[in-house]
Chain A
Amino acid sequence: EVQLLESGGGLVQPGGSLRLSCAASGFTFSNYAMNWVRQAPGKGLEWVSTGSGTSTYYADSVKGRFTISRDNSENTLYLQMNSLRTEDTAVYYCAKSGYGSAWIFDYWGQGTLVTVSS
């Protein structure tokens, strides 16, 4: 059974940093691209970043501030978030790519809440 468990969310001041983690199990982690998708309170879904074995991709809204990385030996995905803004406040979901595409998100974690506020 595929399981994705996010951690690392919390309250941070504007301009601060936070690192999110996503522990994966139930599949061969190194074989799949992995993603972060966020959802601001009461709003819709926004793709944030995708990391495959050799490539990384970012939404314009986070480019230069967020860094996606992965440790295939630990089956863990990370999102390093720097220079945080109030508009980054959201639930951050880790999602596995599937069905032969890096961009179809077939399994999701339960999310971790990031609140950026002074």
Chain B
Amino acid sequence: EVRLVESGGGLVQPGGSLRLSCAASGFTLRGYWMSWVRQAPGKGLEWVANIKEDGSEKNYVDSVKGRSTIARDNIKNSVYLQIINLRVEDTAIYYCARETQTAPGAFDIWGQGTLVTVSS
């Protein structure tokens, strides 16, 4: 079964940092672009960052640029998102998503999400 499982969420104080992990199974990660997408409480989906198959290209939404690093380990079949200097507005469910090979930009597999709460 093709699966993505996120972990690493939790309660963090403003200014703190977190490293989210996404473990892939049932497929070979190195063949796919991967993204992180988040949903704040009561809000819509927001794309956060993505990383090319070999890790050579990374892109970020402006609101996390400079505070966030996306990385991958194709040997461990995992993708990571580190965010530093967390803000209250970073509170959200963070989903890991796989980009299809046949339709660039479309996310065909999503993890169940991990909740990040930034609060004092």
- Do A and B come together as binding partners? no
B contacts, CB < 8 Å to A: none
